[in-house]
Amino acid sequence: MKTVFSGIQPTGKVHLGNFLGAINNWVEMSNGKNKNYFCVVDLHSLTTHPDPKDMDENILSTVKVLIAAGINLDNSTIYVQSKVSEHAQLSWILSNFCQIGDLQRMTQFKEKSSELGSHAGILTYPILMASDILIHKAHEVPVGDDQTQHLELTRNIAERFNNKYGVIFPIPDKTSGKVGARLMSLRHPENKMSKSADDINGTIYFDDSKDDIMKKFKSSVTDSEDEIRYDLDKKAGISNLIDIYSSIQDISHKEVEKKFSSSKYGEFKMEVGEVVANYIHPIFSNYDSLSDKEILSLMKTNLEIAKSSAKKTMEEVNSLLGI
């Protein structure tokens, strides 16, 4: 049986990029024969200095979205990172198996340090991510394309530890979404769709009404042609819409191009809006029907499972290190 780990930051409302890049895959994997850990990574979110007042609400809402999206709770553990102190402990240990140059090369470090200021948390973030994955000895990590480099670093860190102290960590593999592994903003197709984007019209949130969704697609940025063709370099906006449509409908880019070969951009935008609204709404209505009390109680039980798994790994690591 394989162990799966993935995480999501409680930095705001879950969006379409999170679903198509990661959560859809989590749902699929949770319905297979895996043991799954899905973690709300609040320690990671501290790199953005979030308002403490929002934390509890964002965590609960994120957990509810995961459940509403269909994660199979029979073989999945959903918990909050900061409640399992072993994540931070292992992170310190692993920092001794990671080169500073490796961290400085990370694209996300370069992007985020210019945005948020280059504090050490942004630099060492990938080590904490490695710890999240390795603390449960995960084999598979379903994440969006933006996390490829971080996962590669996790593999290096695990190899270095194993080589030096004995093989205890599996070398984890990345599992990507079928298509559209990186969704871009509808308003700024050069930037990824994001929870904390300044222009909220570029992001489709899980609780957007159909009206909001249609408006956002209507005003999505495309190009001056009127040809529905996938070309990331020259037609980033329309390629993003093709990605979204093909991902939700589970068809190839070529099939989308063929289906809409005689459509105008305006018509295509509305078709994409329709499929997105039909995709989002069942999730939102499931979300709405969940009881906060029941979810909080489930989180308590799940936390004990996560703690026990993390404690076991930490004991092994400490023993190998002689501490």
Name the residues annotated as catalytic.
Answer: 112, 192, 195
In angstroms, rounded to a whole number, what is the distance separating the alpha carbons of residues 41 and 25? 18
Largest CA distance in the chain: 68
Q: Tell me, what amino acid is at 163? A: N
Residue nearest to ligand AQP (CB): 21
CB of 86 vs ligand AQP, minimal distance in Å = 20
Residue 187 binds ligand AQP (CB under 6 A): no
Q: Are 193 and 203 in contact (CB under 8 A)?
A: yes
189 contacts ligand AQP (rule: CB under 6 A): no
116-145 positions binding ligand AQP, by CB under 6 A: 143-144
Cβ neighbour number for residue 292 with a 10 Å cutoff: 11
Given the complex with ligand AQP, which of 203 and 302 has the nearer CB atom? 203
What is d(CA 197, CA 178) in angstroms, rounded to the nearest whole number?
24
Distance, CA of 122 to CA of 124 (rounded, Å): 6
Could you say whether residue 172 binds ligand AQP (CB under 6 A)? no
Q: In angstroms, what is the minimal distance from the CB of 311 to ligand AQP? A: 24
Q: Is 195 in the site for ligand AQP (CB under 6 A)?
A: yes
Question: What's the min distance (Å) between Cβ of 11 and ligand AQP?
Answer: 3
147 sits near ligand AQP (criterion: CB under 6 A): yes
Q: Is 246 among the residues that bind ligand AQP (CB under 6 A)? A: no
**193 CB-near residues (< 8 Å, 6+ apart):** 15, 16, 17, 183, 184, 185, 186, 202, 203, 204
State the minimum distance, in angstroms, from the CB of residue 8 to ligand AQP: 4
Residues 6+ apart with CB under 8 A from 274: 214
Q: Does 183 contact ligand AQP by CB under 6 A? A: yes
Sites of contact with ligand AQP (CB under 6 A): 7-9, 11, 15, 17-18, 21-22, 143-144, 146-147, 181-183, 192-196
